[in-house]
Amino acid sequence: MQLYNVLTGEKETFTPRNKHVSVYVCGITPYDTTHLGHAFTYASFDLLIRYLEFLGHEVTYVQNVTDIDDDILRKAREVGKDWREVGNRWTAHFIRDMQALNVRPPDHFPRATEVIEEMLSIIQTLLDAGYAYERGGNVYFHVDSWEEFGALSKLPRAEMLPVANERGNHPGDPHKRDPLDFVLWQARAPGEPAWESPWGPGRPGWHIECSTMATELLGNTIDVHGGGADLVFPHHECEIAQAEGATGVEPFVRFWMHTAMVRYEGEKMSKSLGNLIMIRDLLEKGWHPDALRIYLNKHHYRRAWEYRQESLERADATARLLREAVAASGGTERPLSPRGALETFTTALDDDLDSPIALRAMEEFAEQILRIAAAGRDVTGAQAALRDMARVFGLYLDRDEPEARVADGWNRHLRKFV
């Protein structure tokens, strides 16, 4: 199996260290969710995880909830609600969307605020090692202390600051040695929640949240870490510096994977632009979850694309074709072999999760099943193979409900937020 590793910029053979694979995917900041860009990311990683399971690997999957950061506090002020209430409501909304799309739940779904003590310990380790410094009750990571800073994003130093400023950096902070230094712990601001720390009351920075949850739950080296492409810099770049600086273990992540951006009417789909296509709206308009899953995965996870309803309509037609194929009645003559279809399917997914080719193989196989069934031949084995392939894409087919493990797993997480 070949996967594109953003760190090296190449496809590499993915060989698990053992039969067990650890996966961490950056989760939502819970407000204004779930738009098509979110769904593309989580459907893409769902495909990866399901395919690893199809190949016989055990997967431990962690996805976090960024329940405390600048964005969630700003949203809470805008709507005049408590930040916890806002986060809980939108996280529950996200969970129900993931259930509807039959996305396999993470094994661990931690809130950032559940690991405050662990973050404090890592921050202290970074201070002791000389990678961080404290000023005015704030603690910062000094990027010049980490020689490899920039290895993931490949950004020249001159381009880093403008990108970081667009994504939460505060270059004018007078306590910083360098405008690019990022906050590990920020001193309490009026009206904001705070936790006690050795440097005074405050709250964690965004980047330290994920590296802490990842290492606490999956260990010092993770097989696959990912999220949207907009997280490469500064978020994931900072995670590497923090994690490896604190543990002394390299690499923090073996394979970095990132999903491309989704556009609408020529612009990147984003909360800031307000040009969001929401999954809940599409479901309420009558689009079948299988149509949405097929539509998402008809785009390769590393290629940017634009929402078009006509493409969604074609995906809906594919979903109907697959349902017809698994329901077709054949005869008892000469069984149809699934070998060729399965080989094409696995070859495609082994090539950096080439989901468009894998889905095309499923469509062609479904059409073949219908032809062969109409000729009175046995298609039961072929239908079983098509169901196995559909399961890798999280499709319902002729079921009315999501898989039991999807419903039960997400319900277990949901209880923390309702």
Would you say 377 and 335 are in contact if contact means Cβ atoms under 8 Å apart? yes
DSSP 335: P
pLDDT in tens, the chain (418 residues): 999 999 999 999 999 888 899 999 999 999 989 999 999 999 999 999 999 999 999 999 999 999 999 999 999 999 999 999 999 999 999 999 999 999 999 999 999 999 999 999 999 999 999 999 999 999 999 999 999 999 999 999 999 999 999 999 999 999 999 999 999 999 999 999 999 999 999 999 999 999 999 999 999 999 999 999 999 999 999 999 999 999 999 999 999 999 999 999 887 777 667 788 999 999 999 999 999 999 999 999 999 999 999 999 999 999 999 999 999 999 999 999 999 999 999 999 999 999 999 999 999 999 999 999 999 999 999 999 999 999 999 999 999 999 999 999 999 999 999 9
Q: Which residues contact 284 (CB under 8 A, 6 or more apart)?
A: none
Closest by Cα among 378, 386, 259, 272 to 319 = 386
Report the pLDDT value the prediction gives residue 19, as an integer from 0 to 100: 81
Secondary structure (3-state) at 3: strand
Q: Which domains does the chain have, with CATH numbers?
A: 2-273 (3.40.50.620), 310-395 (1.20.120.640)
CA 129 to chain centre: 31
- At which residue do the structure tokens 């196989």 appear? 365
Alpha-carbon distance values, 282 to 35, 285, 286, 289, 310 (Å): 10, 5, 7, 9, 14
Burial class (CB in 10 A: 0-12, 13-18, 19+), 280: middle
Report the pLDDT value the prediction gives residue 105, as an integer from 0 to 100: 98
d(CA 207, CA 146): 15
- The upper half-sphere exposure of residue 153, i.e. CA atoms within 13 Å in the direction of its Cβ, equals 24
Alpha-carbon distance values, 149 to 24, 96, 216 (Å): 21, 38, 23
Report the pLDDT value the prediction gives residue 269, as an integer from 0 to 100: 77
Q: Any long-range contacts for 173-179 (C-beta under 8 Å, 24+ apart)?
A: 173/138, 175/135, 175/136, 175/138, 175/140, 176/135, 176/140, 177/133, 177/140, 177/142, 178/142, 178/143, 178/144
Report the pLDDT value the prediction gives residue 219, as an integer from 0 to 100: 96
d(CA 373, CA 328): 7
